Amino acid sequence: MAKNDVKVLGAWPSPYVMRPRIALNIKSVNYEFLEETFGSKSELLLQSNPVHKKIPVLIHGDKPICESMIIVEYIDEVWTSGPSILPSDPYDRAIQRFWAAYVDEKWFAAMRGLRSAQGEERKAFLDQVTEGLALLEEAFGKCSKGKAFFGGDRIGLLDIAFGSFLGWLKVTEKVNGVKLLDEAKTPGLVKWAERFCADAAVKSVMPETEKLLEFSKVLAAKMKGAPPPKN
């Protein structure tokens, strides 16, 4: 497939944008990465995703596909010669999709809350995040069945969904002075995170924690309305 047949509209810090990129890497599909400028939305983005006006968007030929996990499933269904991202058994697929939705709707929502919260509220969000990680540790045990990833021997849907947040998880640990992934409480996830970040499909698109930390300061300043700090 010619490189410019597949485009991903996105931005390097976004965990959601990482997801289709990892999926395309798993399938060894060449694509053009069109980076959006922080703070503005390109014409192409507004045209391709008029409903949400958000990244990522996958443009395959002339067809735009939106919503990161929907894009990942699309990639799995189109490029069938590459390794499968979803398992073949319907029940296993349902479990992967369930936890991917949990990560997005419950767990990362608590992580985002933690970013801006103060005092008592902060503790509440931290508890939610930690409880979520305990659930995910248990899920990892069940899904991996002793293998390297949630998807088994290879990275699958849930690895992509959860793993894409690891950069921001590390930033949150640094900013809040907490350990979220912990050898004592979440030993399975600690090792899984190392393997995920080291995987060939992930390495080139996972941002460095330091870069992400700097970006998070810019983002925080923008949200407060102050001018961004000078590096």
Q: Are 131 and 175 in contact (CB under 8 A)?
A: no
Residue 152 pairs with which residues in a beta bridge?
Answer: 149
In the complex with other proteins, the residue whose CB is nearer, 135 or 220, is: 135
74 part of the interface to other proteins, by CB under 8 A: yes
Decide if residue 137 touches other proteins (CB under 8 A): no
Tell me 145's DSSP state: T
Residue of 8, 22, 71, 133 that binds other proteins (CB under 8 A): 71
Q: Counting beta carbons within 10 angstroms of the beta carbon of residue 122, is it exposed (0 to 12), middle (13 to 18) or buried (19 or more)?
A: middle
CB-based burial, 184-208: b 16+ in 10 Å, e otherwise: eebebbeebbeebeebebbeebbbe
Member of 29, 68, 73, 212 binding other proteins (CB under 8 A): 73
**CA–CA separation, 115 vs 56, rounded Å?**
22
Task: Provide, rounded to whole angstroms, the least separation between the CB of residue 86 and other proteins.
Answer: 10
Does 63 bind other proteins (CB under 8 A)? Our answer is yes
x-marked contacts with other proteins along 98-117 as a string, rule CB under 8 A? x--xx---x-----------
Contact flag: residue 199 with other proteins (CB under 8 A) = no
What the block records as the tokens of 46 is: 């507004």
Contact region with other proteins (CB under 8 A), list: 31-39, 62-70, 194-202, 209-217:
62-70
Which CB sits closer to other proteins, 93 or 191?
Answer: 93
Nearer to other proteins, 69 or 155 (CB): 69
